[in-house]
């Protein structure tokens, strides 16, 4: 993720966040990939081998949702916690991410003061009223957490604020309550939206407003770690550029535990509908992950897609490949990120499974000797590439190169009286295969 720092702004967060990034891409002590094997097509399973991958609580991510399903399907049916406000977050086929093969994306439309949102968390003591159908989906926010999704934001005509997610405590006031929002002067068009101070605000590393994220698909990635001892962190990237790098993410305990994370579409005092589409949501309780990108250096990759691990060990990882909006995997690079957020150097991958190494041909069959005034030795070729044949008349005899005789037969003359056991073997660039069965004859 790129680290080019521009002028510092103030971010629309309601709590104090300040963190140092964990990304030391390609650090000498970080992970290293030495091989990839398996089915290099989207949905295929590959094994990644190497060193220093570290550990992961489980092979699979904490939550993965490609947001595929039926048009109009409600998100609580997919295991999400959903706010009671209407209209509800649903799956919609009206705006899917191009080139992914996806059939739908989550859609959230705000009308009036109703705020559609979905996510996960604990019973929050009344700060938000979730639908009864989604109460079974309560899952507390993990720490640390890696959150990754694709977002399409269609702004309202005018508003004074727009919020995209919130991370709050499970108590009646919802405090502490962090949110990612873009404030603006009252009743402003989207072009006026930008980061500014909210409740004291927090520093962002570069400008981020509607020109960056409006009316296009962008890739959002976040690191969260809550702590009471000054080591908490919040980092956010959009399309590989880091916008927030905040340490000492506020500590909490007991009733103030920040246990709910919700993706939302909220505008304040606006005109027109603000619409958010969300696709490919990946959440895990570790920073460890596998990504594929368009550069050999993690920090300069402007397009990355997160892969879906199934098995994770220090020297070997199995993943289900997810090409996302890449047309295929040709010319791309694979990265393993460990639990500290350190990324490996990129490992080049191809667009298809490489052919297996050549093998020697199989043994000829159907060998026979025709006894006339001379002896004719013939055989049936194996189902392999053959560049020459070798024969011998006794087991102890050396093999004789016969080239590629016409009709797969040779004529034998000038033999001494005695018993013979003729054999033939097929050869190619990889070597010679097993000899045929023996054809016995007597002179």
Q: In the beta sheet, which residues pair with residue 107?
A: 90, 277
CA atoms of 367 and 311, how far apart (whole Å): 50
Q: What is the pLDDT of residues 397-442, one digit of tens each?
A: 899 888 888 888 888 888 888 888 999 999 988 889 999 999 888 8
Q: What is the pLDDT of residues 189-201, one digit of tens each?
A: 776 665 543 333 4
Is residue 356 situated within a structural domain? Answer: no
Q: Could you tell me if 340 and 398 lie in one domain? A: no
pLDDT score, position 375: 82
What count of other Cβ atoms lies within 10 Å of the Cβ of residue 6?
Answer: 11
Structural domain total, the chain: 2
Q: Could you tell me if 70 and 189 lie in one domain? A: yes
CA-wise closest residue to 49 among 310, 312, 288, 315: 315
Is residue 353 situated within a structural domain? Answer: no
Is residue 216 situated within a structural domain? Answer: yes
Q: Could you tell me if 257 and 392 lie in one domain? A: no
Q: Could you tell me if 261 and 210 lie in one domain? A: yes
More confident residue, 84 or 236: 236
Q: Could you tell me if 389 and 269 lie in one domain? A: no
Q: Could you tell me if 285 and 414 lie in one domain? A: no
CATH number of residue 421's parent domain: 2.60.40.10
Mean pLDDT computed over every residue of the chain: 79
- Across residues 228-254, what is the average pLDDT? 74
CATH number of residue 106's parent domain: 2.60.120.200
Q: Could you tell me if 107 and 249 lie in one domain? A: yes
The domain containing residue 270 runs over which residues? Answer: 9-348
CA atoms of 232 and 16, how far apart (whole Å): 11
3-state secondary structure of 298: helix
Q: Could you tell me if 321 and 372 lie in one domain? A: no
pTM: 0.70
The residue assigned the tokens 């060193």 is 51
Q: Could you tell me if 68 and 203 lie in one domain? A: yes
The residue assigned the tokens 């993410």 is 249
CA atoms of 102 and 279, how far apart (whole Å): 9
Q: Could you tell me if 260 and 327 lie in one domain? A: yes
Q: What is the pLDDT of residues 47-93, one digit of tens each?
A: 999 999 999 989 999 999 999 999 999 998 898 888 777 788 999 99
Is residue 3 situated within a structural domain? Answer: no
Q: What is the pLDDT of residues 325-358, one digit of tens each?
A: 999 898 999 999 999 999 999 999 864 444 455 6
Q: Could you tell me if 14 and 65 lie in one domain? A: yes
Q: Could you tell me if 294 and 388 lie in one domain? A: no
pLDDT score, position 435: 92
């Amino acid at each position: 993720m790129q680290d080019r720092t521009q002028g510092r702004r103030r971010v629309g967060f309601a709590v104090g966040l300040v963190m140092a990034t964990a990304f030391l891409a390609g650090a000498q002590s970080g992970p290293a990939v030495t091989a990839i094997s398996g089915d290099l097509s989207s949905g295929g399973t590959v094994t990644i081998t190497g060193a220093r991958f570290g550990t992961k609580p489980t092979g699979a991510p904490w939550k993965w949702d490609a947001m595929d399903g039926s048009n109009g399907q409600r998100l609580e049916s997919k295991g999400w916690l959903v706010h009671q406000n209407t209209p509800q977050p649903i799956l919609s086929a009206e705006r899917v991410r191009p080139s992914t093969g996806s059939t739908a994306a989550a859609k959230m439309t705000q009308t009036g003061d109703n705020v559609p949102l979905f996510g996960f968390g604990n019973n929050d003591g009344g700060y938000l009223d979730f639908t009864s159908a989604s109460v079974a989906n309560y899952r507390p926010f993990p720490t640390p957490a890696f959150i990754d999704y694709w977002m399409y934001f269609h702004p309202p005509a005018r508003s004074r604020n727009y919020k995209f997610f919130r991370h709050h405590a499970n108590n009646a006031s919802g405090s502490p309550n962090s949110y990612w929002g873009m404030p603006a002067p009252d009743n402003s068009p989207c072009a006026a939206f930008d980061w500014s101070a909210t409740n004291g605000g927090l520093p962002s590393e570069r400008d981020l407003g509607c020109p960056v994220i409006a009316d296009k698909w962008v890739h959002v990635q976040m690191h969260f770690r809550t702590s009471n001892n000054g080591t908490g962190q919040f980092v956010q990237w959009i399309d590989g550029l880091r916008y927030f790098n905040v340490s000492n993410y506020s500590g909490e305990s007991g009733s103030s535990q920040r246990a709910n994370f919700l993706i939302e579409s909220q505008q304040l005092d606006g005109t027109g509908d603000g619409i958010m589409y969300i696709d490919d949501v990946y959440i895990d309780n570790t920073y460890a992950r596998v990504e594929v990108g368009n550069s050999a250096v993690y920090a300069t990759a402007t397009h990355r897609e997160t892969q879906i691990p199934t098995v994770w060990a220090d020297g070997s990882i199995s993943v289900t490949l997810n090409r996302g909006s890449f047309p295929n995997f040709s010319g791309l690079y694979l990265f393993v990120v460990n639990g500290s957020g350190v990324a490996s150097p990129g490992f080049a991958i191809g667009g298809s499974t490489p052919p297996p190494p050549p093998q020697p041909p199989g043994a000829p069959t159907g060998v026979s000797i025709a006894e006339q005034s001379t002896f004719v030795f013939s055989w049936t070729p194996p189902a392999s590439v053959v560049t020459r044949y070798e024969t011998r008349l006794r087991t102890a005899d050396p093999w004789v190169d016969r080239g590629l005789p016409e009709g797969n037969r040779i004529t034998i003359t000038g033999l001494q009286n005695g018993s013979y056991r003729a054999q033939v073997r097929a050869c190619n660039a990889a070597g010679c295969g097993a000899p045929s069965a023996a054809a016995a004859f007597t002179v």
